[in-house]
């Protein structure tokens, strides 16, 4: 049987949905893979080049998370078109990342990482609100997994780029400059797709009364999302540094972060299909328990194998929890979803601010990562039980 061109061409609505999903993927790859987490694979190189201590690394990470908190809080009240905020955020990330490779003063590094954090929060909040709404209106909510796989793709790309830099025996400044150029190139590529308003093929969402963002249920979502930020940021920030303590060869310890990113990509796409069987909240609960296991696994499995298993477990859950948490916010808050997403992202950032500071203190006090890992896993488990109680009531 022969098909005409019109039979096999995708519909305009389908093409628009894919364009929006890929634009969201690229934006999150830049914002999260580079704006937020590029510091993680570069940290061992900066320690080598500049003698950066774990405590100083913690302060640089905290500056980024403080900026992320400020950006998320500002997004609650911002009255700006999402695409404008996304574009502005991406440009700031690209320029500030390049500047990290050109400037070597610690105080300037603090300012640059804070600036990148502000921009990254804008991109995450506004990309989530813009793409999830568009995909829902276009009847392609199933593409949300493709959007959030951008986080893992960005981490994988940043980690891979750092592996190349290390293999060439280049310096950390070269890694920052390379990632800055990549950020600007991706921004240029997706720029034309950040214009369109919802398609004419979309159907309007039913009007609902704005929910109370101060309700007990919404506070639960915000607090549990903050616990997620605290619980995962400890291995996410210091995983390569932990690996470097075990093996000096950068070709070995440098693989911890790309493995983390690859696991995030695969798990995000897989979970988008799994959610046909599980609710967002049920997936969120399971994600916290798996992540808690990944956080403490290096204590039970010594050496590099424990680090790799941790990277797989934490990497396979952190983007999934991000995705289902923000989709749960959209489901629960309706027309006020962006405000709830921003509040949850603010709590997430606050958890991340506390994480590196506590790690730095505990490492100095105890000489190891074990107490911090145990604390992070306990908080993740407790928050999962809190979500489980509500899920049981709903069922």
Contact assessment for residue 24 and residue 154, using Cβ atoms and an 8 Å cutoff: no
Residue position matching structure tokens 């019109």: 6
d(C-alpha 390, C-alpha 383), whole Å: 11
pLDDT at position 240: 59
pLDDT tens per residue across span 325-349: 998 888 887 778 888 999 999 999 8
User: At a CB cut-off of 8 Å and minimum separation 6, what does 261 contact?
Assistant: 33, 152, 153, 154, 155, 156, 157, 158, 159, 315
The Cα-based distances of 37 to 51, 62, 95, 244 in angstroms read: 20, 12, 16, 17
d(C-alpha 220, C-alpha 328), whole Å: 12
d(C-alpha 369, C-alpha 135), whole Å: 42
- Calculate what percentage of the chain has a pLDDT beyond 70: 84
Pick from 351, 294, 288: nearest CA to 322: 288
Contact assessment for residue 281 and residue 390, using Cβ atoms and an 8 Å cutoff: yes
User: At a CB cut-off of 8 Å and minimum separation 6, what does 20 contact?
Assistant: 130, 131, 134, 135, 138, 193, 196
pLDDT at position 377: 92
Mean pLDDT of 264-269: 80
pLDDT over 90 (residue 37): no
pLDDT at position 257: 64
Helix (H, G, I), strand (E, B) or coil at 187: helix
Contact assessment for residue 354 and residue 229, using Cβ atoms and an 8 Å cutoff: no
Comparison of pLDDT for 188 and 334, the residue scoring more: 188
Q: Which of 70-84, 94-108, 196-210, 306-320 has the highest mean pLDDT?
A: 94-108
pLDDT at position 357: 74
Mean pLDDT of 83-100: 96
d(C-alpha 22, C-alpha 30), whole Å: 12
Comparison of pLDDT for 138 and 14, the residue scoring more: 138
pLDDT at position 246: 62
Q: How many degrees, rounded to 5, is the angle at CA 81 between CA 80 and CA 87?
A: 100
Helix (H, G, I), strand (E, B) or coil at 157: helix
Read off the pLDDT band of 249 (50, 70, 90): low
Read off the pLDDT band of 395 (50, 70, 90): very low
pLDDT at position 254: 60
Q: Kindly state the tokens that stand for 393.
A: 């009531």
pLDDT at position 201: 42
pLDDT tens per residue across span 46-56: 988 998 887 78
Q: Kindly state the tokens that stand for 252.
A: 């070995």
Mean pLDDT of 254-282: 76
Read off the pLDDT band of 362 (50, 70, 90): confident
Comparison of pLDDT for 335 and 17, the residue scoring more: 17
d(C-alpha 127, C-alpha 149), whole Å: 13
The Cα-based distances of 226 to 63, 147, 177, 185, 347 in angstroms read: 17, 22, 32, 32, 4
pLDDT tens per residue across span 290-320: 999 998 998 888 777 887 788 788 878 888 9
Angle between helices 144-167 and 12-28 (to 10 degrees): 40
User: At a CB cut-off of 8 Å and minimum separation 6, what does 298 contact?
Assistant: 242, 306, 307, 309, 310, 369, 373
d(C-alpha 297, C-alpha 216), whole Å: 34
Q: How many degrees, rounded to 5, is the angle at CA 227 between CA 87 and CA 122?
A: 10
Residue position matching structure tokens 């921009």: 119
Mean pLDDT of the chain: 83
pLDDT over 70 (residue 243): no
Pick from 314, 7, 310, 330: nearest CA to 147: 330
CB atoms within 10 A of CB 47: 18
């Amino acid at each position: 049987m022969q098909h005409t061109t019109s039979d096999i061409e995708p519909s305009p609505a389908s093409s628009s949905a894919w364009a929006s999903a890929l634009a969201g993927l690229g934006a999150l790859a830049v914002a999260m893979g580079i704006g937020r987490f590029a510091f993680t694979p570069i940290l061992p190189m900066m320690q080598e080049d500049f003698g950066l201590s774990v405590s100083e690394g913690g302060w640089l990470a905290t500056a980024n998370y403080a900026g992320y908190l400020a950006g998320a809080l500002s997004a609650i009240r911002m009255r700006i078109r999402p695409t404008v905020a996304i574009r502005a955020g991406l440009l700031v990330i690209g320029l500030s990342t390049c500047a990290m490779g050109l400037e070597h003063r610690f105080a300037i590094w603090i300012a640059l990482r804070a600036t990148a954090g502000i921009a990254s929060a804008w991109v995450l909040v506004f990309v989530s609100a813009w793409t999830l709404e568009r995909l829902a209106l276009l009847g392609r909510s199933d593409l949300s997994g493709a959007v959030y796989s951008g986080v893992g793709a960005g981490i994988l790309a940043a980690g891979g780029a750092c592996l190349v830099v290390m293999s060439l025996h280049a310096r950390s400044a070269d890694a920052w400059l390379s990632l800055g150029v990549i950020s600007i190139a991706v921004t240029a590529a997706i720029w034309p797709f950040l214009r369109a308003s919802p398609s004419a093929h979309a159907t309007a969402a039913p009007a609902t009364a704005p929910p109370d963002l101060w309700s007990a249920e919404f506070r639960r979502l915000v607090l549990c999302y903050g616990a997620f930020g605290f619980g995962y940021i400890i291995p996410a920030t210091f995983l390569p540094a932990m690996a470097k303590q075990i093996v000096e060869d950068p070709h070995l310890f440098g693989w911890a972060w790309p493995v983390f990113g690859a696991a995030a990509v695969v798990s995000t796409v897989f979970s988008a299909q799994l959610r046909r069987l599980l609710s967002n909240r049920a997936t969120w609960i399971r994600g916290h328990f798996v992540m808690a296991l990944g956080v403490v696994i290096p204590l039970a499995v010594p050496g590099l194998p424990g680090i790799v298993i941790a990277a797989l477990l934490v990497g396979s859950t952190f983007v999934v929890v991000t995705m289902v948490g923000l989709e749960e916010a959209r489901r629960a808050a309706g027309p006020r979803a962006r405000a709830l997403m921003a509040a949850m992202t603010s709590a997430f950032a606050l958890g991340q601010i506390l994480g590196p500071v506590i790690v730095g203190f505990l490492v100095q006090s105890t000489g190891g990562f074990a107490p911090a890992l145990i604390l992070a896993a306990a908080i993740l488990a407790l928050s999962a039980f809190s979500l489980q109680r509500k899920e049981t009531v709903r069922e």
